[in-house]
Amino acid sequence: MNNTKTNQLEHAELDLAGTIRPGLDILANEIVIALKKRTRFVKNAPVYAPGLVIGQPDVSLLDYELHMEERQHAELGRYQFAVQEAFTDVSQISSVVKRQLPHSVVKRIPSDAGKRILKFYRSWIDSACQDGTDETTFGETVTSDVNALLSIMERVNLGKSVAESKYREQTSAFINTQGDREAMLELIIRKDRMQEVLNLARKLATHYELDANSVESVFEFMMELTIDIEIVYIRNRLSEK
């Protein structure tokens, strides 16, 4: 067995077939369920604009609930992991539990994906949900939003683990690209796996009675963003050389 394969086996978090892809597929299911729940409610534009949160007139209900949920995750140590990122600033939130984090070879390189995800997600709501405002469902609406957004964020940032795995597998080839995006894409993109992801997206859409094209657009966006995260991550790895 060559050194690269041996190194991969030593780090389960870098095992594409055994660890990363099964995790991605589980998240795919969670994301589609959250999207299905969101389509049960009308667009409810007021939850995305300031004015609903009592005592905090400058904060939208989505931003407020997103921060409250991420605050809870931060207290449990979620964002101490290199592959996890938050939409909101939870840097000052201390953990309330003592826990031993597993050693990780994935580098802590920020993706800054939050704004792109929020922008896309809002456009998806405009196309996937019916027009209208129903204040009796504001809470259910924003809960569905938070569940979907956190799962999408987690999925795309697993691209860091994917990138570290690919980098270790083809270190010399990546060094030879000198950080050129197109050359790096030749090493990063695996079209067979991308097609598997899209097939799964359409299968899940059918199972949960969602428009397959609408769901596929979400997964196309996530793959595009994940590739960009891989590019940023590997360029940072190259800068270490």
Q: Is 11 left (phi over 0), alpha (psi -120 to 50) or beta?
A: beta
Between these two residues, 111 and 2, which has the higher pLDDT value? 111
Which pTM value belongs to this model? Answer: 0.92
* CATH architecture entry for 3-239: Orthogonal Bundle (1.10)
- Main-chain phi, psi angles of 126, to 5 degrees: -60, -30
Helix-strand-coil percent breakdown of the chain, rounded to 5?
70, 0, 30
CA atoms of 95 and 78, how far apart (whole Å): 9
What are the pLDDT digits (tens) for 34-72? 999 999 999 999 999 999 999 999 999 999 999 999 999
What are the pLDDT digits (tens) for 188-225? 999 999 999 999 999 999 999 999 999 999 999 999 99
**Domain range list for the chain:** 3-239
Percentage of residues of the chain with pLDDT beyond 90: 86
